[in-house]
A and B are shown apart, each in its own frame.
Chain A
Amino acid sequence: MSTILNKSSLNFLLQHPWQLALAIVGIALGVAVVISIDLAMESSLTAFDQAGKAFSGTATHRIIASEGGLDEKLYTQLRVGQGIKKLSPVVSGYVQLAKQTNNSFKLIGIDPFIEKSFKPVWQQEQSKNQRAALLARLVVEPNTVLISDKTARSLHLKINDEFTIVSDSGKQDLKIIGFLQANNAISEQVLAKLIITDIATAQEVLGLFGRLSSIEVLMDNYEPETLTKILKLLPGSALFVSVDSQSQSMREMTRAFSINLKALGLLSLLVGMFLIYNTMTFLVMQRRRLIGCLRSIGITRRQIFKLIIGEAFLLAIIGTLIGIALGIALGQSLLYMVSETINAIYFRVDATSLIIRPAQIGKGVFLGIAATLVAVLPPAWEATRFPPATVLIRSGLESSTRQLVSGAKLTGFILIAGGLALALSSAQSVSWGLAGIFIIVFGFALLTPAFTLGLVQMTDKLFGRFLGIAGRLPVRTISSEISRTGIAVAALMIAVSATIGMELMIGSLRQTVTEWVQASLAADLYVTLPGEKIIGGRAIEEHQLKKRLADLPDVQMLSSALHTKLIANDEFTKVSVFELNPQSRKGFIFKDKVNDDLWDRFEQQQTVMVTEPYAYYHAIRIGQEILLQTDKGKQPFEVIAVYADYSGDQGHLSMSRQNYQRYWPDLGYSGIGVYARKHTDLKQLENQLYKLLTGQQSVKSDKDIYKASMEVFEQTFTVTETLRWLSAAVAFVGVLSTLMALQFERTRQLGILRAIGLTRRQLTFLVIGETGLMGLIAGLFAIPVGYVVAYVLIFVVYERSFGWTMAFHFDPMVVYQGLALAFIAAVLAGIFPALKMARIKPAEALRIE
């Protein structure tokens, strides 16, 4: 019996290839977006973790320092003085290829003579006989390096070839004496961006004489003695962290970003679910008669239910498989965008290609199948619910739907209220904030049928008499088939409102950031002094440079900033060390009213100012103290102001240079602001400054800086924009599928209309008019919903994710765009069925059923 059932099911499905295809596309797109985001995000972070593991090997802990690194004598004290055996000194930094300056590598200097128990990648990956000698050559021959064979191939380099790199200290030729060979895909990834060399070469190339970037520590078990020894010698500028906790905190840092991206992925899946629901409902409805007959001849409800679920399962599997393939392809391009964003606002990651893990694929498969099954439950339930006799009557469905509409309306209001309450009361949780948005949007979706009915009836009342029968037909069809049209409008509304909401949010943020950047740029010209900040040589040169700048006749005054990290609460905290002048002080936008003596206190007392994200994350208020670790123990700094900053979401502190120099070593400057005298030719001054600079130092005008800042901003939102369009695409497919299904279902009805004299043109108008109207309704309803979404995003989610407050900035263009998007998508979706219907002869159409 079940074979016959299956056959009937299969036959039926094959007779509706378009519906099938669209359902599969819906599932596939939803799954693809979810998987691609997951893969891109995980690959970026895994690349970071794995790169760490590759050169740390089995190290369990790490001594790390802020800018300037660790004094290499610390290593000697620990190794020779304290006899701690399992230590590995590391000197690392970034270098670019001289020929491709956008191609950067992490240069890692290691000591080949460390304990073998570390098993880092440069030891493990070697197998050939000559490998052993290579490490000895690294030590003996300056500027020799190991790189991955994959990288060498891509750069057309062979063993014994030299290539030129650029570092903070200038250009340097490096000679490849051997290859690092990867034994799996992940290590291949990791190795592709590494250059391994001896620690001496690394110090020479990077100019980090006397310094180590970190000391890797391997503690077999819990070794309190080793721990005590290390902590005793640990300088104030260094931290002893476990490798796991470090990678944990990296993940923690990007958590909000990651959640936001994943929410966008889920949005696509949600829209995809509507699509599946719709298609399955259509497929069930089309077979009401068949199901009624089957039930009459004794097929049980259970069997019918199983049949429908079985079909959905099949579709889910096909859709999910396609989705995975698509997701991997999509993930590759997302990866680039995601890692660029992580680079811009968090930390350096070098992800070159996707790392595909079974776990993530599994998650995609699970989500795809689960979403399909959940979406198909209502139609499956519906198919079995009615007794055989009523199943045969369509009007039964519509009348019950109308009861449902008012039920949905009530549920919708409850959900919106609940969602808002959840979002507003969700404390610091980003996930709950986003869940609130989902619930709100879903609540609005439930209101859609009621809204649609209301609007359609109003249209009918207001304009009906002017439209004539042909004009009234599309309007009334929408309301008479609300069970289908309502869903289509809801799906479209969700996608469009998400688009409007996000666009409003991004626009508000863009406006806020623009104002902030412009306010912050007080100087006429900026000299940037890039590179690792180190004690000694380079810092002294930077002081000399500053003095020379000050001596230029056209220069009225200078300001300076040093961006470094200090330790607060056993964590590295970004700190900007400022030398300010009356002009540059105006660049701070304070979040609270500040007293007149603020700047005196900033300069003269042990105080700091904190950025808004910092205050938010650490729940710090003005008047509280922050304990900063120094070589003289922990020192309290009073928070005297909170100011706006959108440069990152972890926040930072700022302190006066006077305060800084009391406890920490001089590391030179990160940038110097130059204020010209009145009527100075800035172009000419820029040239004068340029002549004083060396190496990587550069001079930029405030306009250049503004442009660069906004570029970073736009880049940060490329991912969001892309994902937004993807969910709009899913919604479009959904609308297309729904409307097509709707129209095809009405073939007979349209046939009758044609038979009683409706022209082809009128028929086309009828179909397109109906879909276009639905699009308009969706677009209109999406505007207030988009507003609510934007509101919650701006004042709840983003503030929580990134600690940024921003002013709501309304851009009417966004609304027009949203409306246009909905309308155009709906009209496009109507064209194909309209043309097809118009082509069918009335007799054919009547016969089709």
Chain B
Amino acid sequence: MRERKFIVLAIVLLAFLIIFWRQTFTFSMLTPPAEDGSFGQILSRDEEENFAHALKPRKFSFPADHGAHNRYRTEWWYFTGNLKNPYGRKFGYELTFFRFALKADTPPSKSVWRNNQLYMAHFTVTDVEENHFYTDERFSRTGNNLAGTSNKKYQVWLHDWSASSLDNSDFPLRLQAKGPEFAIDLILKARKDLVLQGEQGLSRKSEKPGNASYYYSYPRLTTEGSINIGDNKFSVMGDSWMDREWSTSSLSDEQAGWDWFALQFADNSELMFYRLRRKDGQQDSNSSGSVILADSSKITLRKQDVKIKVLDTWKSPHSHSIYPSKWHLSIPGQNLEVDVIPLINDQELNVSYRYWEGAVSVKGIKNGKSISGQGYVELTGYK
């Protein structure tokens, strides 16, 4: 499912950097990065050769693989979750750490700041009752321990935002992040085991060798902890989802963006699917996903296995972009027909890189019985 991200990734990567520089540094960036010689030098395609590529399935080894793979250009640690307080008040959150290698190599130096690994993190909380969406982001290079990962345990941090194992095993994992007026402090425990996406964790993006990522997920993490909004502290419980992915190759120019669905059903099964949208309006053939059954077994979904119909749209008052805001998903092979509805419409992140990533609820029919669920949807490339 996250393969879409993959593709996107490279496009995004360029866009990211450009936009992030622009946003961060308040100067206008009118031309796209590809047209800019200096930026091209940093992220030029020929530099791809200097990076490692995801060519064939690998043997994953944990906890080392929870740490950064600096030889690959891009990497992320992605947490999303739907939570409730004891009175049923609903919250959503996203905490994502991105790593970008500005260059494959870092020249030797006695300065710890000499480091080309750039981390970015996004943190959001959706307060459904107040219909409010909080966002914040951070940047840092890894030098001077300002950001980084561990290969001894699950640990990734950027400044004071972190995801870190409480002891030597991967779980329980503690997520901590604090924005200007909102914060989370959550303990995650794996209810279901890790799932290797794609082909034993190798998620191919196209036929070209190396245009792929290494990629695994924890589709259901029991979550407990607290969310702070303003001066209020809410004890919360619920389920989270974690994605890990690293790659080097870039997206094709034809892709415009993607819609990604990560849904957790009440019957303890999950669905992930990403639809890659092409600039010509067609769905890219690389769209794919998977169904994870209650017993953790995985069924791969191809583009033709899933039909998505947009039922409604929402225009962002911030960016004036129009996003789909209600979908009907049908997966005939699984006897699944569901509607996916955002908990609130405005879950657009207007940070360095603009996208929509929000908590959703799911209602529908599976095998003739009504079924409900929750999840997260990510929408990129909408204008």
Query: What is the chain A residue whose CB lies nearest that of B141?
Result: A113
Against A, the Cβ 8 Å flags (1 = close, 0 = not) of B25-43 are 1111111010011110110
Query: What is the chain B residue whose CB lies nearest that of A116?
Result: B24
Stretch of B110-118, B250-258, B365-373 contacting A (4+ beta carbons < 8 Å) = B110-118
| Of the residues B26, B102, B118, B140, contact of A123 by C-beta under 8 Å | B26
B29 A132 Cβ-Cβ under 8 A: yes
B160 A82 Cβ-Cβ under 8 A: yes
Residues of B within 8 A of A72 (CB): 112-113, 144
Q: Does B107 contact A (CB under 8 A)?
A: yes
B21 A133 Cβ-Cβ under 8 A: yes
Complex Cα distance, B118 from A135, in Å, reads 13
| Of the residues B30, B42, B110, B115, contact of A136 by C-beta under 8 Å | B42
Query: What is the chain A residue whose CB lies nearest that of B33?
Result: A133
B54-113 interface with A by 8 A CB criterion: 102-103, 107, 109-113
| Of the residues B24, B38, B140, contact of A133 by C-beta under 8 Å | B38
Residues of A within 8 A of B146 (CB): 75-76, 79-80
Query: What is the chain A residue whose CB lies nearest that of B28?
Result: A127
Residues of A within 8 A of B37 (CB): 130
Q: Does A142 contact B (CB under 8 A)?
A: yes
A203 B113 Cβ-Cβ under 8 A: yes
Q: Does B327 contact A (CB under 8 A)?
A: no
Residues of B within 8 A of A439 (CB): none
Residues of B within 8 A of A136 (CB): 17, 21, 38-39, 42, 102
Query: What is the chain B residue whose CB lies nearest that of A203?
Result: B111
| Of the residues A81, A111, A133, A177, contact of B113 by C-beta under 8 Å | A111
Query: What is the chain B residue whose CB lies nearest that of A87?
Result: B159
Complex Cα distance, B21 from A113, in Å, reads 9
Nearest chain B CB to A84's CB is how many angstroms away? Answer: 8
Complex Cα distance, B112 from A75, in Å, reads 13
Q: Does B302 contact A (CB under 8 A)?
A: no
B26 A124 Cβ-Cβ under 8 A: yes
Q: Does B7 contact A (CB under 8 A)?
A: no
Q: Does B354 contact A (CB under 8 A)?
A: no
Q: Does A326 contact B (CB under 8 A)?
A: no
Quick one: given A137-B41, A209-B111, are A79 and B159 in contact (CB under 8 Å)?
Answer: yes
Query: What is the chain A residue whose CB lies nearest that of B22?
Result: A132
Q: Does A482 contact B (CB under 8 A)?
A: no
Q: Determine chain A's interface SS by DSSP, over half rule.
A: helix
Complex Cα distance, B216 from A596, in Å, reads 80
Which residue among B30, B31, B38, B111 has the maximum number of chain A CB atoms within 10 Å of its CB? B111
Complex Cα distance, B109 from A378, in Å, reads 76
Which residue among B31, B38, B139, B143 has the maximum number of chain A CB atoms within 10 Å of its CB? B38
Query: What is the chain B residue whose CB lies nearest that of A83?
Result: B160
Which residue among A76, A83, A111, A139 has the maximum number of chain B CB atoms within 10 Å of its CB? A139
Residues of A within 8 A of B298 (CB): none
Q: Does A234 contact B (CB under 8 A)?
A: no
Complex Cα distance, B110 from A303, in Å, reads 82
A79 B160 Cβ-Cβ under 8 A: yes
Nearest chain A CB to B73's CB is how many angstroms away? Answer: 13
B102 A83 Cβ-Cβ under 8 A: no
A123 B21 Cβ-Cβ under 8 A: no
A200 B21 Cβ-Cβ under 8 A: no
A209 B107 Cβ-Cβ under 8 A: no
Q: Does A126 contact B (CB under 8 A)?
A: yes
A613-632 interface with B by 8 A CB criterion: none
Complex Cα distance, B159 from A80, in Å, reads 4
A200 B114 Cβ-Cβ under 8 A: yes
Nearest chain A CB to B351's CB is how many angstroms away? Answer: 11
| Of the residues B36, B102, B160, contact of A140 by C-beta under 8 Å | B102
Question: What band does the interface of chain B fall in when counting residues whose beta carbon is under 8 Å from A?
Answer: 35 or more
A75 B144 Cβ-Cβ under 8 A: yes
Against A, the Cβ 8 Å flags (1 = close, 0 = not) of B104-136 are 000101111111101000000000000000000
Residues of A within 8 A of B157 (CB): 80
A181-215 interface with B by 8 A CB criterion: 198-200, 203-204, 209-210
B25 A135 Cβ-Cβ under 8 A: yes
Which residue among B31, B118, B157, B159 has the maximum number of chain A CB atoms within 10 Å of its CB? B159
Complex Cα distance, B26 from A177, in Å, reads 19
Q: Does B18 contact A (CB under 8 A)?
A: yes
Complex Cα distance, B114 from A148, in Å, reads 24
Residues of A within 8 A of B25 (CB): 112, 116, 123, 126, 131-132, 135
Against B, the Cβ 8 Å flags (1 = close, 0 = not) of A104-139 are 000000011100100100011011111111111101
A126 B159 Cβ-Cβ under 8 A: no
Question: How many residues of chain A are within 8 Å of chain B by beta carbon?
Answer: 40
| Of the residues A80, A127, A134, A209, contact of B38 by C-beta under 8 Å | A134
Q: Does B23 contact A (CB under 8 A)?
A: yes
Complex Cα distance, B146 from A76, in Å, reads 6
Query: What is the chain A residue whose CB lies nearest that of B25?
Result: A123
Nearest chain B CB to A821's CB is how many angstroms away? Answer: 60
Q: Does B192 contact A (CB under 8 A)?
A: no
Q: Does B278 contact A (CB under 8 A)?
A: no
Complex Cα distance, B39 from A338, in Å, reads 45
Complex Cα distance, B118 from A321, in Å, reads 58
Query: What is the chain B residue whose CB lies nearest that of A115?
Result: B24
Quick one: given A79-B160, A116-B25, are A140 and B42 in contact (CB under 8 Å)?
Answer: yes
A200 B143 Cβ-Cβ under 8 A: yes
Nearest chain A CB to B164's CB is how many angstroms away? Answer: 12
Complex Cα distance, B28 from A127, in Å, reads 6
Residues of A within 8 A of B29 (CB): 129, 132
Nearest chain A CB to B28's CB is how many angstroms away? Answer: 7
Nearest chain A CB to B107's CB is how many angstroms away? Answer: 6
Query: What is the chain A residue whose CB lies nearest that of B101?
Result: A140
Query: What is the chain A residue whose CB lies nearest that of B24?
Result: A116
A142 B116 Cβ-Cβ under 8 A: no
Complex Cα distance, B17 from A132, in Å, reads 9
Residues of A within 8 A of B283 (CB): none
Residues of A within 8 A of B28 (CB): 127, 129
Q: Does B319 contact A (CB under 8 A)?
A: no
Q: Does A591 contact B (CB under 8 A)?
A: no
Quick one: given A123-B27, A129-B29, A209-B110, are A139 and B41 in contact (CB under 8 Å)?
Answer: no
Query: What is the chain B residue whose CB lies nearest that of A204?
Result: B111
| Of the residues A83, A113, A135, A140, contact of B140 by C-beta under 8 Å | A113
Q: Does B145 contact A (CB under 8 A)?
A: yes
Which residue among B109, B116, B144 has the maximum number of chain A CB atoms within 10 Å of its CB? B144
Complex Cα distance, B160 from A82, in Å, reads 7
A127 B27 Cβ-Cβ under 8 A: yes
B30 A200 Cβ-Cβ under 8 A: no
Residues of A within 8 A of B118 (CB): 113, 139
Complex Cα distance, B113 from A204, in Å, reads 10
A140 B113 Cβ-Cβ under 8 A: no
| Of the residues B141, B144, B159, contact of A139 by C-beta under 8 Å | B141
Q: Does B189 contact A (CB under 8 A)?
A: no
Q: Does A461 contact B (CB under 8 A)?
A: no
Residues of B within 8 A of A200 (CB): 109, 111, 113-115, 143
Residues of B within 8 A of A134 (CB): 38
Q: Does B178 contact A (CB under 8 A)?
A: yes
Complex Cα distance, B102 from A136, in Å, reads 8
Residues of B within 8 A of A255 (CB): none
B103 A198 Cβ-Cβ under 8 A: no
Query: What is the chain B residue whose CB lies nearest that of A126?
Result: B27
Q: List the 7 closest A-B pairs by CB distance, nearest first.
A: A83-B160, A132-B21, A200-B113, A133-B38, A200-B114, A203-B111, A133-B39
Q: Could you tell me which A residues sit within 8 Å of B by CB distance? A: 72-73, 75-76, 79-83, 85, 111-113, 116, 119, 123-124, 126-137, 139-140, 142, 177, 198-200, 203-204, 209-210
A-B contact pairs, 13 of them (CB 8 A): A76-B146, A79-B160, A80-B159, A81-B160, A83-B159, A111-B113, A112-B24, A116-B25, A127-B28, A132-B22, A133-B36, A200-B114, A209-B110
Q: Could you tell me which B residues sit within 8 Å of A by CB distance? A: 17-18, 21-31, 33, 36-39, 41-42, 102-103, 107, 109-116, 118, 139-141, 143-146, 157, 159-160, 178
Told that A80-B145, A111-B141, A204-B110 touch, could you supply 8 new A-B pairs with CB distance under 8 A? Answer: A76-B145, A113-B24, A116-B25, A132-B18, A132-B22, A134-B38, A139-B141, A204-B109
